[in-house]
Amino acid sequence: MEKKIFFWVLSLTLVALALALVLPGGRAPDPNPKLPWDIKVDGTGVSEVFGLKLGSSTLQEARDILQDSGKVSLFVTKAGKPELEAYFERIFLSGLRADFVLVLEGDEEILQQIYDRGRRISRTTEITRKVEIATEDQFLVATFPIKLINYIPQANLEAELLSSRFGEPLQKIPEAETGVVHWVYPEMGLSIGLNPDGKEVFQYAPPKEIDKLIQRLNESAKDERIVN
């Protein structure tokens, strides 16, 4: 009887250990970690982060890596330009939990067709409309390449930690109204928005596109100064 109890307890212990290895908080180390500071740029200027190559890796590849289907929506600004985004919430990747917002690249004519087939239209701001993608378009958008990656870690990150991982930025762009300061690393195609009152936002773009991102950040900061 005592021997049976011993083996029963041993079995439960082994099951608990096995679960600890596959559940968050007890995960086995990732043999190929995909960390926010592990950015690779090849000789042609193509950047890779989280195992995804900007401009070529597709939404489906991101779903496979993040092990989540995410939610795809089409946003249309007042200017009428559509933009397709895939949102992944509270993803656990290589020991870190974060939200991901992937901006997808698609032909404008095709995006307009997706907009026309959208199931529901809602307004997120005074100038932006959000369109829910029709079921028949879900397979289509899965083939679209990723243009930009926004990464929002759950943990608040201090400037000292970011400096130790990324080094000093080439440029810092402050937002007077929000207090957010954008650290810009052109050679990596990276901008990090340090928020004193909220979450940090990492924006990954192809290095050749970083000038456009810097221009948008500067224009946003300039507009705030004019308003104030």
Residue 5 pLDDT: 47
Judged by average pLDDT, the poorest of 87-96, 161-170, 194-203, 217-226 is 217-226
Please give the average per-residue pLDDT across 96-105, as a whole number.
Answer: 98
Q: Look at residue 24 and tell me if it is in a domain.
A: no
* Residue 136, C-beta contacts closer than 8 angstroms, at least 6 positions apart: 117
Asked whether residue 139 is domain-assigned, the answer is yes
What mean pLDDT do residues 161-175 have? Answer: 95
Number of domains in the chain: 1
Q: Is residue 189 part of a domain?
A: yes
Residue at 210 is within a domain = yes
Q: What is the pLDDT of residue 176?
A: 85
What percent of the chain shows pLDDT beyond 90? 62
**pLDDT the model gives residue 31:** 80
In a domain, 215, yes or no: yes
State pLDDT tens for residues 5-34.
Answer: 444 434 443 333 344 344 455 556 678 899
Kindly state whether residue 17 falls inside one of the protein's structural domains: no
Mean predicted confidence (pLDDT) in 73-81: 84
Mean pLDDT check: name the lowest of 61-65, 81-85, 90-94, 142-146.
Answer: 81-85
71 falls within a domain:
yes
Domain of residue 100, residue span:
33-227
pLDDT of residue 153: 97
Is the whole model's pTM more than 0.85, yes or no? Answer: no
pLDDT value, residue 26: 52
Asked, for residue 11, whether it belongs to a domain, the answer is no
For every residue of 59-95, DSSP letters joined together read HHHHHHHHTS--EEEEEEETT--EEEEEEEEEEEETT
